[in-house]
């Protein structure tokens, strides 16, 4: 009878250990899934908010700005020449139609 009782107590101990592990997984599993779900939801919400918000730069720097029509033809340009800002507007052929470039006036 000693052997049967020993086997029974051993089996009972193993069952209690397995039941404890099972209980832990029953609690931990849903918590992990809930955390993962909330994390993904927060990530998607943050991405949608970022896409909806307009991007506004406070400073834009360039050496030249080009104005193009829908066909890609350059119709104007803002640049710096000889240390002075110059704005030029072009016709379809590329000829200057208007400019802020200072013209040299003859001495009177």
63-89 per-position pLDDT tens digit = 899 999 999 999 999 998 888 889 999
Q: Are residues 105 and 67 in the same domain?
A: yes
Q: Are residues 15 and 52 in the same domain?
A: yes
* Bridge partners, residue 85, by sequence: 80
Q: Which of 56, 78, 98 is the last residue of a domain?
A: 56
pTM metric for this prediction: 0.42
Count the domains in the chain. Answer: 2
In 15-107, DSSP assigns E strands to 64-68, 74-81, 84-90, 96-99
10-68 pLDDT per residue, tens: 888 899 999 988 998 899 999 999 999 888 888 888 877 777 767 777 788 888 999 99
The two three-digit tokens of residue 101, written as one number: 């470039």
Range of the domain at 41: 1-56
Q: Are residues 84 and 98 in the same domain?
A: yes
């Amino acid at each position: 009878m000693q052997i049967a009782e020993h086997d029974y107590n051993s089996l009972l101990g193993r069952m209690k250990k397995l039941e404890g592990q099972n209980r832990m997984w029953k609690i931990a599993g849903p918590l992990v899934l809930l955390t993962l779900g909330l994390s993904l939801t927060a990530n998607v919400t943050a991405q949608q908010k970022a896409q909806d918000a307009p991007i506004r730069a406070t400073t834009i720097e360039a050496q030249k700005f080009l104005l193009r029509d829908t066909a890609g033809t350059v119709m104007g340009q803002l640049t710096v020449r000889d240390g002075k800002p110059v704005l030029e507007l072009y016709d379809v052929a590329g000829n200057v139609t208007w400019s802020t470039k200072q013209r040299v006036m003859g001495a009177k």
